[in-house]
Amino acid sequence: MTKRKFLSIVMIAVVILSIMICNSLSVGAATNKINDDTVDEYLQTCVENAHIPALSITIVNKDNVLFSSCYGECDDCDTPFVLGSVSKSFTAVCVMQLIEQGKINLDEKISAYLPNAADGDKITVSQLLNHTGGLGEHQTLENFHIINEQGEHHYANVNYSLLGKIIEKVSGLSYEEYVTKNIFEPLDLSHTAATQKESINNGLIDGYTDFWGFQLKRSHKYPTSENAWITVPAGYLSSSTNDLGRYLQMYLNGGEDIISKQSIDKMFYGDTVYVEDDVPFWYGYGWATVKEPLSEPVLRHSGLVETGTSCVFILPESGLGVAITTNVNDYFVTNEMMDSLGWGVILMLLGESPNEIADNAYLLNHLRIDLIMIAVFAVAVLPLCFLIRYRKSLKKNKKVRKVITLVIYHLILPIFILLVVPVFFQTPLWVAEAFVPDVFITVVLSSTMLFVTGVIKSIMLIHNIRVKQKNN
- Asked if residue 465 has pLDDT above 90, the reply is no
Is residue 67 included in any domain, yes or no?
yes
Using the CB atoms, write b or e for 152-185: b if 16+ within 10 Å: ebbebbbbbbbbbbbbbebbeeebbebbbebbbe
Domain boundary among 357, 378, 412: 357
| pLDDT above 70 (res 399) | yes
Is 2 a domain residue? Answer: no
* Interval 348-371 mean pLDDT: 93
Give the pLDDT of residue 285: 98
Residues of the chain with pLDDT > 90, as a percent, come to 78
Q: How many Å apart are CA 296 and CA 75, to the nearest integer? A: 34
Final residue of a structural domain among 357, 385, 414: 357
Both 433 and 447 in one domain: the answer is yes
Q: Which residues of 67-82 are buried (b: 16+ CB within 10 A; e: fewer)?
A: bbbbbbebeebbbbbb
Q: What is the spatial distance between Cα 405 and Cα 86, in angstroms, rounded to a whole number?
A: 50
Is the separation of the CB atoms in 204 and 56 below 8 Å?
no
State what percent of residues in the chain have pLDDT above 70.
Answer: 93
Q: Is residue 23 part of a domain?
A: no
The count of C-alpha atoms lying within 13 angstroms of the C-alpha of 116, restricted to the half-sphere facing its C-beta, is 5
Residue 330 C-alpha from the chain's centroid: 12
How far apart CA 231 and CA 229 sit, in angstroms, is 6
Q: Are residues 310 and 418 in the same domain?
A: no
- Would you call 113 exposed, middle or buried from its count of C-beta atoms within 10 A (0-12, 13-18, 19+)? buried
- My answer on whether 340 and 372 are in the same domain is no
Rounded to an integer, the average pLDDT of 158-166 is 98
Model confidence at 391, pLDDT cuts 50, 70, 90, reads: confident
Question: Domain count of the chain?
Answer: 2
Residue 106: pLDDT over 60: yes
Q: pLDDT category, 133, cuts 50, 70, 90?
A: very high
For residues 281 and 399, state if they share a domain.
Answer: no
pLDDT band at 6 (very low <50, low <70, confident <90, very high): very low
**Lowest mean pLDDT: which of 9-23, 32-46, 121-135, 138-152?**
9-23
The answer to whether residues 171 and 270 belong to one domain is yes
Confidence check: pLDDT of 146 > 90: yes
12 within a domain of the structure (yes/no): no
Same domain, residue pair 387 and 318: no
In the predicted structure, residue 13 carries a pLDDT above the cut 60 = no
pLDDT bucket at 413, cuts 50 / 70 / 90: very high
18 domain residue, yes or no: no
As a whole number of angstroms, the distance between CA 9 and CA 29 comes to: 30
| 67 and 47 in a common domain | yes
Secondary structure (H, E, C), the chain: CCHHHHHHHHHHHHHHHHHHHHHHHHHHHHHCCCCHHHHHHHHHHHHHHCCCCEEEEEEECCCCEEEEEEEECCCCCCCCEECHHHHHHHHHHHHHHHHHCCCCCCCCEHHHCCCCCCCCCCCEHHHHHCCCCCECCCCCCCCCCECCCCCCCCCCHHHHHHHHHHHHHHHCCCHHHHHHHHHHCCCCCCCCECCHHHHHHCCCCCEEEEECCEEEEECCCCCCCCCCCCCHHHHCCEECHHHHHHHHHHHHCCCCCCCCHHHHHHHHHHCCEEECCCCCEEECCCCEEECCCCCCCEEEEEEEECCEEEEEEEECCCCEEEEEEECEECCCCHHHHHHHHHHHHHHHHCCCCCCCCCCCHHHHHHHHHHHHHHHHHHHHHHHHHCHHHHHHHCCCCCHHHHHHHHHHHHHHHHHHHHHHHHHHCCCCHHHHHHHCHHHHHHHHHHHHHHHHHHHHHHHHHHHHHHHHHHHC
Given this model, what pLDDT does residue 33 score? 64
pLDDT given at position 2: 43
What are the pLDDT digits (tens) for 53-92? 999 999 999 999 999 999 999 989 999 999 999 999 999 9
Q: Are residues 128 and 167 in the same domain?
A: yes
Q: What is the pLDDT of residue 472?
A: 66
Give me the pLDDT at residue 19, please: 36
Q: What pLDDT score does 252 carry?
A: 98
**pLDDT tens-place string over residues 278-312:** 788 999 999 999 987 788 999 999 999 999 999 99
Q: Is residue 289 part of a domain?
A: yes
Examine the domain organization and report whether 337 and 194 are in the same domain: yes
Tell me: do 367 and 414 sit in the same domain.
yes
Distance CA 418, CA 415 (A): 5
What sign has the CA pseudo-torsion 62, 85, 226, 200?
positive
Work out the average pLDDT over 443-447. Answer: 96
Instruction: Tell me: do 232 and 379 sit in the same domain.
Output: no
Is 284 inside any structural domain?
Answer: yes
Q: Which domain holds residue 428?
A: 362-471
In a domain, 216, yes or no: yes
The domain boundary residue, chosen from 327, 357, 387: 357
CB 149 within 8 A of CB 167: no
> Is the pLDDT reported for residue 12 higher than 70?
no
- pLDDT(367) > 80: yes
231 and 301 part of one domain: yes
- For residue 306, the domain's CATH number is 3.40.710.10
Rounded CA-CA distance 205/208 in Å is: 10
pTM comes to 0.88
Binned at pLDDT 50, 70 and 90, residue 31 comes out as very low
Q: Which residues lie closer than 8 Å to 465 by C-beta, 6 or more apart?
A: 399
Per the prediction, the chain carries an average pLDDT of 90
Confidence of residue 197 (pLDDT cuts 50, 70, 90): very high
Cα–Cα distances in Å, from 90 out to 44, 53, 124, 152, 248? 30, 26, 19, 23, 11
In this prediction, residue 32 has a pLDDT band, given cuts at 50, 70 and 90, of low
